[in-house]
Amino acid sequence: EAGVVQSPRYKIIEKKQPVAFWCNPISGHNTLYWYLQNLGQGPELLIRYENEEAVDDSQLPKDRFSAERLKGVDSTLKIQPAELGDSAVYLCASSSFNFDQPQHFGDGTRLSIL
Amino acid sequence: DAKTTQPNSMESNEEEPVHLPCNHSTISGTDYIHWYRQLPSQGPEYVIHGLTSNVNNRMASLAIAEDRKSSTLILHRATLRDAAVYYCTHNTGNQFYFGTGTSLTVIP
């Protein structure tokens, strides 16, 4: 089966500019996660979707970050405006609904803010 | 927050077994234990998971303590391709929390 696809793989922008990341999960996976990963750290959850519904966005900085998952398939994560501290890898993962099922991760988008 | 603790780094000789430990101090009775590993410039890769019983798959074995407060990932014969950062995690409150992981070095 095809894996989780993320684009772009790399993005370099100047601070205060907007940026968007796209994720296509594995077909049939109801649950979609966005994580942020800083260098030398484990992934940190930003938002979790069950189908179209954002069921946990408590860690999402809502003043500048937004996300959507239209039709319960693809998802987009946006930052506007970007700050220097947002430089990180943004990972998308998907899984079946039940928590006894593993998450499958994409290779992430590495964001660099100048 | 669900918390796991792991050693920062470990070393193993090639073709020898490796036991990677993890403490799950906040685990509850219905939380599954998952292990992932991550190579540079790649997303984490699923390795194995379990609830109470020990588990085996083609990649590794997972040993879970009777009180479930600790688990051990076992690589039976380490290869150079097993060099990675290994994360243990468990789901609490419908979330998985990843720690800083264990960086495994495999020595030829």
Tens of pLDDT, residues B67-80: 999 999 999 999 99
pLDDT band (50, 70, 90) for residue B63: very high
| Residue B61: CB atoms within 10 Å | 17
A55: nearest CA partner in chain B: B94
B88 beta partners: B35
pLDDT at B30: 84
Considering CB atoms only, which of A4, A43, A106 is closest to B98?
A43
Task: Classify residue B98 by its DSSP letter.
Answer: -
- Percent of chain B scored above 90 by pLDDT? 74
A59: nearest CA partner in chain B: B95
**Does residue B94 surpass a pLDDT of 70?**
no
Contact A114, A14 (CB under 8 A): yes
Cα distance between residue A79 and residue A101, in whole Å: 30
B84 beta partners: B104
| Residue B68: CB atoms within 10 Å | 17
**Does residue A84 surpass a pLDDT of 90?**
yes
Tokens of B1: 């927050």
